[in-house]
């Protein structure tokens, strides 16, 4: 074969091979993966406008919707591949009362976190005025689309705000709970998103709309909380703290600024009310106004009173004498005292005279019931001295004070019971008998949450059963079909003779109702707060001492005795005297039992003066 013929043959073969390769590639692109590449092509002109599912409602036990959804309108930018033309930005800024820089920054931020071709949410919750302005100028805003959405709505402001929680900035097709019940029950509340499809041209301008997929609303969460009682708890906590700022009164405590309260059904663990002061307004954290949201969030973080904290589950406190009923059960069960035995109180504890009674003159000879009623420190010093830390520790564990309650809201702290090992670790100190005396009256290195104490005290109220505290009773679909029910959960039982529980109840009834215990001329420590209430109640006050400052105030009560339906534990930081925090509980009793309570105003005025009055009951 001639050289020219060889070159011609090589050219033909090479050309054939080249076209074969190209043909195979075209077949691969057009046939084998036709649907895949066609979908990529369609992304150039098809946009999904997401419709997030309405979050499920949160409803109180008495039927009040405390978190729901309200109709809103969200503005989307449809051409994320290119910056919005500045002329459109400027016009849009004027309609929305925003700066052009803010709109450009919002689009840039969302573009960085969303998938390519996703529409960019510019702002939510458009007002009627803004909607009208956009509609009248839609011809000059070809790259935008307004889409209806369901916006989270919290109608009651800061009442129960930190229990409900709030939602974070949503993704295009979902919302995420960031705190409280919104976070705990996210999987039920979220629902399933839908969307509408829009065709746009190569400039990102809307051509036409296609059909839409309707979102499925989230489930409804039903609470154990009684909303009227919750409102009363929040108002009474704030009201009592403000009354403590009244100079020249018995209850004057100028540094009182925060507190918490929890009310529980001792027979099943239902939380009937739980409040913290201060709280926050989750409506101001709804992500429809990023500037407002960010400003408010930073303000909350800077507040020294920590309004985002759920105090009944997150705060750790030395509870003072509200701990004595638990130790009374421990002493009776351990047989270091009997109901009829007496201990003499000279005003101090003779083996360690530096430990004084709160009443320095002493109450003389008392039974355990009388000692509970008078909150006699010397009596309980003696019990703690006799029991020792090992016995006390056994009973603290029996009451599950070393374990989380498992309440269904995020953030619960674990209580820290006093032990020699913990003392050594925290203070590098050796346990001495004096620490037994501090422990038995709820001082020293004791650190408990209100919710852990409420669970333990509920066992005293009901005769030994420890229930898991819980906020949610059931979950249903939006149409009412049952999804899940939450029955009571027994976490422990303390099997003791009935007379032990009865003895402690009797002492707490003296605290709440007796005007003169054992002819001492002294009333029960809770009696000035609860005097004249028309039902039989039990109580225990706690004045937790702090070095060089005001005391913390605690108040424990349940009723009606002998078959209590509600237990309330109150706390006011720097409240100075335990009984004074008890007016929060009295206001809640007025609401819960719906009884006439004409003597409440007189009792309140005796402590805080006539300035404030009594707006409850």
Cα separation, 277 vs 162, in Å, equals 10
Q: Are 67 and 153 in contact (CB under 8 A)?
A: yes
Q: Are 403 and 178 in contact (CB under 8 A)?
A: no
Sign of CA dihedral 22, 23, 25, 26: positive
Close Cβ partners of 492 (under 8 Å, ≥ 6 residues apart): 398, 400, 459, 465, 466
- Intervals of the chain under pLDDT 70: 1-49, 80, 116-117, 169-174, 198, 200-211
Cα separation, 415 vs 402, in Å, equals 6
> For the chain, which domains are there?
46-223 (3.90.1310.10), 227-295+304-608 (3.40.710.10)
pLDDT in tens, 126-162: 888 898 888 888 888 888 888 777 889 999 999 999 9
Q: Are 412 and 469 in contact (CB under 8 A)?
A: no
Q: What is the pLDDT of residue 360?
A: 95
Cα separation, 617 vs 516, in Å, equals 27
Cα separation, 532 vs 602, in Å, equals 10
Q: What is the pLDDT of residue 77?
A: 85
Q: Are 358 and 543 in contact (CB under 8 A)?
A: yes
* CA distances from residue 476 to 186, 214, 220, 226, 275 in whole angstroms, order as listed: 14, 20, 5, 18, 25
Q: What is the pLDDT of residue 207?
A: 67
DSSP labels, 461-497: HHTSEEEPPBSEEEEE-TTS-EEEE----EEEE----
Cα separation, 606 vs 406, in Å, equals 40
Neighbours of 356 (CB within 10 A): 14
Q: What share of the chain is helix, strand, coil (3-state, %, to 5)?
A: 40, 20, 40
Q: φ, ψ for residue 350 (rounded to 5)?
A: -55, -40
The residues that bridge with 307 in the sheet, in sequence order, are none
């Amino acid at each position: 074969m001639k050289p020219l013929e060889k070159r011609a043959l090589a050219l033909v073969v090479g050309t054939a091979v080249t076209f074969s390769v190209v043909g195979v590639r075209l077949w691969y692109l057009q046939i084998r993966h036709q649907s895949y590449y066609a979908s990529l092509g369609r992304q150039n002109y098809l946009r999904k406008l997401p419709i997030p599912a309405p979050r499920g409602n949160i409803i109180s036990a008495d039927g009040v919707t405390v978190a729901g959804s309200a109709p809103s309108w969200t503005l989307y930018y449809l051409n994320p591949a290119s910056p919005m033309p500045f002329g459109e930005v400027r016009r849009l800024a004027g309609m929305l009362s925003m700066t052009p820089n803010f709109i450009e920054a919002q689009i840039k931020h969302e573009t960085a976190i969303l998938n390519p071709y996703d529409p960019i949410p510019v702002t939510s919750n458009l007002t009627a005025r803004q909607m009208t302005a956009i509609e009248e100028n839609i011809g000059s805003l070809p790259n935008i689309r307004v889409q209806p959405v369901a916006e989270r709505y919290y109608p009651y402001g800061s009442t129960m705000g930190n229990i409900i929680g709030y939602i974070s900035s949503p993704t295009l097709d979902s919302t995420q709970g960031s705190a409280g019940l919104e976070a705990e029950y996210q999987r039920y509340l979220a629902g399933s998103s839908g969307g509408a499809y829009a065709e746009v041209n190569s400039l990102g301008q809307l051509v036409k709309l296609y059909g839409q997929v309707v979102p499925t609303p989230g489930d409804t969460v039903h609470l154990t909380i009684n909303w009227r009682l919750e409102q009363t708890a929040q108002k009474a906590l704030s009201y009592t703290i403000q009354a403590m700022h009244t100079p020249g009164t018995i209850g004057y405590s100028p540094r009182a600024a925060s507190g918490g309260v929890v009310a529980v059904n001792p027979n099943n663990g239902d939380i009937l009310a739980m409040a913290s002061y201060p709280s926050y307004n989750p409506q101001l954290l709804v992500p429809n106004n990023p500037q407002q949201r960010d400003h408010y969030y930073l303000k909350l973080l800077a507040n020294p009173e920590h309004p985002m904290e759920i105090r009944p589950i997150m705060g750790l406190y030395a509870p003072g004498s509200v701990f004595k009923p638990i130790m009374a059960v421990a002493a009776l069960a351990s047989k270091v005292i009997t109901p009829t035995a007496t201990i003499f109180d000279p005003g101090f504890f003779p083996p360690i005279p530096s430990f004084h009674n709160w009443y320095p003159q002493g109450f003389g000879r008392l039974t355990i019931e009388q000692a509970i009623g008078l909150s006699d420190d010397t009596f309980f010093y003696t019990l703690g001295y006799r029991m020792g830390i090992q016995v006390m520790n056994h009973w603290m564990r029996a009451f599950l004070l070393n374990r989380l309650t498992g309440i269904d809201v995020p953030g619960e702290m674990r209580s820290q019971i006093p032990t020699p090992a913990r003392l050594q670790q925290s203070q590098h100190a050796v346990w001495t008998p004096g620490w037994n005396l501090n422990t038995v009256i709820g001082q020293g290195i004791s650190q408990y949450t209100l919710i852990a104490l409420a669970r333990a005290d509920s066992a005293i109220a009901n005769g030994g059963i420890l229930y898991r505290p819980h906020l949610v009773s059931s979950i249903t679909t939006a149409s009412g079909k049952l999804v899940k029910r939450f029955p009571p959960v027994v976490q422990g039982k303390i099997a003791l003779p009935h007379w032990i529980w009865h003895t402690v109840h009797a002492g707490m009834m003296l605290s709440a109702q007796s005007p003169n215990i054992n002819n001492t001329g002294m009333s029960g420590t809770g009696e000035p707060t609860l005097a004249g209430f028309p039902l039989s109640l039990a109580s225990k006050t706690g004045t937790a001492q702090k070095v060089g400052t005001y005391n913390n105030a605690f108040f424990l009560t349940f009723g009606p005795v002998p078959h209590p339906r509600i237990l309330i534990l109150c706390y006011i930081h720097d409240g100075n005297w335990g009984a004074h925090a008890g007016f929060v509980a009295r206001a809640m009793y007025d609401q819960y039992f719906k009884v006439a309570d004409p003597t409440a105003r007189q009792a309140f005025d005796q402590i805080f003066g006539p300035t404030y009055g009594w707006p409850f009951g």
